Chain A
C-alpha cells in the first residue's frame, strides 16, 4: 500500500513537472511564432530596401521623379510608372467606389433575403477569381472589345478631350482601368456591406418613423454613421489596385513614357516589376526593380496602417 501511494505521488509529481514544462513550452513556442510575424514584417521591409541599395546609391531620391528606363545605358527612373500607377488606380477607384457602395447598399438595405445570399456570394466569388484569369480575359476578350467598340465610341463622343485621342489598341490604360475596377469592387463592396449592417436598427427605424424615404435614411443615417469605415474600405481597395501586378501587366502594354491618352499603352510600378522578370540581367537593373518594389511597399504600408487606424477607431466608437 505504502509503495503504491509513493508511486502514485511520484507519478503526480512527474506529471506536475511535465505540465509545468508543457505550459512553458506552449507559451514560448507560440510566442516565438507570433513575434516571428513581426520579425517577418520588419525583415521584408529591411531586405527590400537593402537590395535596392545599388540603385539608391546611384540615383538617390531623384529616381522617383526621373523619367527613364534604359537597360542599355543603365539609366533608370520611376516617374513613368508612378504616373501610370496613380492614374490607373485613381480612375479605377473613381468608378469602383460608387459601384461598391451601391452594391453594399443593395445587399444591406434593399435586396430580398433570398436574393441577398446569392448575389453576396457571387460578388465574393468575383474576389476569388485569380488575377491571372482576369488578365487572360482582359487581353483576349475585353481587349478586342475595347479596341473595336469602346475606344471608337469614346473617341467619337468625347474625342475633344485629350484623354480619348490617338490610335485604338488592344492594350493600354483603358483596359487596365476596367480590369482594376473589376478587382477593387468585390473587396470594397464586401467590407462596406459589413459596415452597413453594423448601423443600429433603432437609428434606421427612427429615420423611417420620421417619414424619410430609404435613400434619405441612407444619406442621413447609414452613410454618416459609417463614413470612416467606408473611407478605409476604399483605401484597402486602392491598395489592391496599386499592388496588382499580373492582370495589369497582361493588358496595359508595358510602355514607358507619360501619355495623357487612355488609349495608349503605359505601365505601373507593379506591372513593370512583373514584366521584367526574365530580362533583368545587370545588377543595377535588378536593384532598380527592387527600388520600384520598395516604393510600392512604402505605399502599401502607409495606406494599410491608415486604413487600420480608421477601422480600429471605428470599432472603438461603436463599442
Chain B
C-alpha cells in the first residue's frame, strides 16, 4: 500500500508537511526545556559560589563590603509563609467542605468561579488591596500584613485542591457512614476528610512553594525592614524574594552574588516542595484507586 501511495506527489507533499509540523512541535518542547535548564543552571552555578555558613547565619553586610548573609530574610520568609498557611489552609478546607458536602450545585459553581477569579487577580493588586485595607489605616507595615496578602494568594490554590480530592471520595463511603446512624458532621470530619489528607497536603505544599516565591504582595506590606534578625511579625520583616529583588537592582556586584545565592535557596526550596507534592499526589491516587 505504501508503494502505491508513494507514487503520488500529493501524498509526498502531505507527508513532508506533516514531518515539518511534527519537527516544529518537538522543537518548541525542547526550547521550553532548554530555557528551564538555562535558568536553573545559571542559578545553580552563580548561586553556589556565594553559599557559605555566613550566608545562612549573618545579616546583610554594609554597602560595598562583601560577605554577610540573608539570615534575616530566611527567618522572615519562614514566619511570613507559616502565618499565611495557618490562615489559608483551614479556611480553604472549610470552603471546600461547604462546596462538596453542603452547597447546591448552582451555589457550588458560583463559589468555584469566585475562587478562580481570586486566583486570577494579579498578585500586585492583592498587595495593593492589603496596603489599602491594613497598612494605610494602621500607618505601618508588618510581616503579619504581608502574610494576609500571601494567604489570599494561597486560599484559592488550597481550596481548589481540597475540592478536587473531596469530589473523588466515593459516595458509598458517605452513605455507609450515614446509614450506620453517624451524624453528618461526624461523617464529614471523621470519615470523609481523613481519606483526603494527602491530596489536601499536596495542594497545601504547592501553595507554600508559590507563596514563598511571591514578591509583589510584599512590596507594599512588609518591605521597609531593618537588617536585624527579628522574629516578631508585628514589624516589617525581610524576605528571600524581596532580597533577590532589591539586590538584583543594586549596582554592587557582591549583592548580585548574594541575589544568586538567595535565588538558589529559593529554587531549591520550591523544587523540594514540588517533588514532595508529586510524591503525596501519587500516594493519594494509589490510595483512592485501590
Interface on A for B, CB 8 Å cutoff? 19-20, 22-23, 25-27, 29-34, 36-38, 40-41, 43-44, 47-48, 50-51, 98-99, 102-103, 105-107, 109-111, 119, 121-123, 125-126, 128-137, 139-141, 182, 185-186, 189, 213-216, 218, 236, 239, 242-246, 250, 270, 273-274, 277-278, 289-290, 293, 296-297, 300-301, 303-305, 307-308, 312
Q: Which residue of B lies closest to A245 (CB)?
A: B124
Q: How far is the CA of A214 from the CA of B23 in the complex (A)?
A: 12
B: residues with CB less than 8 A from A are: 14-15, 17-18, 21-22, 24-29, 31-33, 35-36, 38-40, 42-43, 46, 91, 94-95, 97-99, 101-103, 109-111, 113-118, 120-126, 128-129, 132-133, 136, 152, 155, 159, 183-186, 188-189, 209-210, 212-216, 219-220, 223-224, 241, 244-245, 248-249, 256, 259-260, 263, 266-267, 270-271, 274, 278
Residues of A within 8 A of B28 (CB): 98-99, 102-103, 106
Nearest chain B residue, comparing its CB with the CB of A100: B28
Question: 6 A-B Cβ contacts within 8 A?
Answer: A48-B128, A128-B271, A215-B22, A216-B18, A274-B124, A290-B132
Establish whether residues B111 and A38, one from each chain, have CB atoms under 8 Å apart when the complex forms.
yes
What is the CA–CA distance of A29 and B91 in the complex, to the nearest angstrom? Answer: 10
Best-surrounded residue of B121, B123, B213 (most CB of chain A within 10 A): B121
Cβ contact within 8 Å between B132 and A106: no
In the complex, residue of chain B having the shortest beta-carbon distance to the beta carbon of A39: B114
In Å, the complex CA distance between A27 and B248 comes to: 49
Query: Other than the known A40-B155, A213-B14, A300-B122, what 11 A-B pairs have Cβ atoms closer than 8 Å?
Result: A37-B115, A37-B155, A50-B132, A51-B128, A122-B33, A122-B36, A129-B36, A133-B244, A139-B249, A250-B248, A303-B120
User: A102–B28 Cα gap in the complex (Å)?
Assistant: 6
Q: Which residues of A contact B110 (CB under 8 A)?
A: 38
Point out the residues of chain B lying under 8 angstroms from A126, CB to CB: 32, 35-36, 39
| B32, A34: Cβ atoms closer than 8 Å | no
Q: Give A232 to B216 CA distance when docked, in angstroms.
A: 25
**Contacts of B17 on A, CB cut-off 8 Å?**
213, 215
A293-B128 in contact (CB<8A): yes
Would you call B116 and A308 a contact (CB within 8 A)? yes
How many Å lie between the Cα of A147 and that of B220 in the bound state?
32
Question: Is the Cβ of A123 less than 8 Å from the Cβ of B114?
Answer: no
Closest to A36 in B: B91
Closest 4 CB pairs of A and B: A243-B122, A130-B213, A19-B183, A30-B98
> What CA separation (Å) do A11 and B263 show in the bound complex?
60
Contact A289 to B128, CB < 8 A, known contacts A26-B97, A33-B94, A125-B271: yes
Chain B residues with Cβ below 8 Å from A133 are 39, 43, 213, 244, 263, 266-267
Contact partners of A47 in chain B: CB under 8 A? 129, 132-133
Which residue on chain B has the smallest CB distance to residue A311?
Answer: B116
